Amino acid sequence: MFASTLTDAIRLLATFDHRVAEIVGLSLQVSGGAVVLGTLIGLPLGACIAVGRFPGKSGVSVLINALMGLPSVVVGVVVYLLLSRSGPFGAFGLLYTPLAMVAAQTLLVVPLMAAIARQVVEDAWQRYAEELQVMRFTWWQSVTTLLHDCRHSLLVAVLAGLGRAMSEVGAVMIVGGNIDRATRVMTTAIALETSKGDLPLAIALGIVLIALILALNAVAFGLRHWAMRRYG
């Protein structure tokens, strides 16, 4: 059963058409958009928590670490209620659009990226705190300097966000609706094919998804090495 499903899946890989390419493209757009927003929000947020001195700092750190395990289906329901026509942002008509999916995945990846950034920047902060204070850096200058100095390590946070966004199904299913040629992405397509009992096709799509994530990670790894060699 398992072996035959797998061989059928591999045979299917050869026959993929432009419909699969469309689904892959939308996955990249949605998850890519979420990771860009996650990078712009999550990394500075994590760095601010690391450098800042404020009451309840350890509480915030624990909270943001815990939110790494935020269930995607909960995020889906919350964003659904917000974007629903009967919800507070209903007038924008965003439900069942790719933008709604970007919003939901952004909420998912921000805590994850912020938590990793907080740890990375805090470690660097402990090493360089004195130097930065001697140079009379303001708090915000310290944050941006540390973010810049840690950029190679922070790539892990970006990749973790990308992996989380590309692999989640709970949130995009609810706020996107898995609409054919509109909001269907890799994971919801896999869920649909599994529902139809077409397990070889589901596995084939799964292989494509894993290969895609692997390729993105390989590119990021290569870029990082190239950048480190070239710019130090």
Partner 1 sequence: MAHELLKRIRVAVLGVVLAGAAQAATAAESIVLASTTSTEQSGLFAHILPIFEKTSGISVKVVALGTGQALDVGRRGDADALLVHDRAAEDKFVAEGYGSYRRDVMYNDFVVVGPTADPAAVRASSDTSDAFRRIAGKAATFISRADKSGTHAAELRFWKAAAIEPVGQSWYKEAGTGMGPTLNMAAGVDAYTLSDRGTWANFKNRQNLAILYAGDPKLFNPYGAILVNPDRHPHVKKAAAERFIDWLTSDAGREAIASYRIGGEQLFFPSPR
What gap in Å lies between CA 121 and CA 152, rounded to an integer? Answer: 12
Does 27 sit near partner 1 (CB under 8 A)?
A: no
Which of the 8 DSSP states describes residue 181?
Answer: T
- Chain Cα centroid distance, residue 119: 18
- 10-18, 69-77, 91-99, 111-119 -> range binding partner 1 (CB under 8 A): 91-99
Does 85 sit near partner 1 (CB under 8 A)?
A: yes
∠ CA 162-75-197, rounded to 5°: 75
Q: Are 111 and 67 in contact (CB under 8 A)?
A: yes
Compose the 51-80 pattern: x for residues touching partner 1 by CB under 8 A, - for all others: ------------------------------
192 closest CA partner among 210, 218, 169, 175: 169
What gap in Å lies between CA 105 and CA 103, rounded to an integer? Answer: 6
Does 4 sit near partner 1 (CB under 8 A)?
A: no
- 52-60, 124-132, 173-181, 204-212 -> range binding partner 1 (CB under 8 A): 173-181
143 closest CA partner among 62, 64, 231, 49: 49
Does 38 sit near partner 1 (CB under 8 A)?
A: no
- 68-76, 87-95, 106-114, 133-141 -> range binding partner 1 (CB under 8 A): 87-95
Which residues contribute to the site for partner 1 (CB under 8 A)? 1, 26, 28-30, 32-33, 35-36, 39-40, 84-87, 90, 93, 95-99, 102, 148, 151-152, 177-180, 182-183, 192, 194-199, 223, 227-228, 230-231
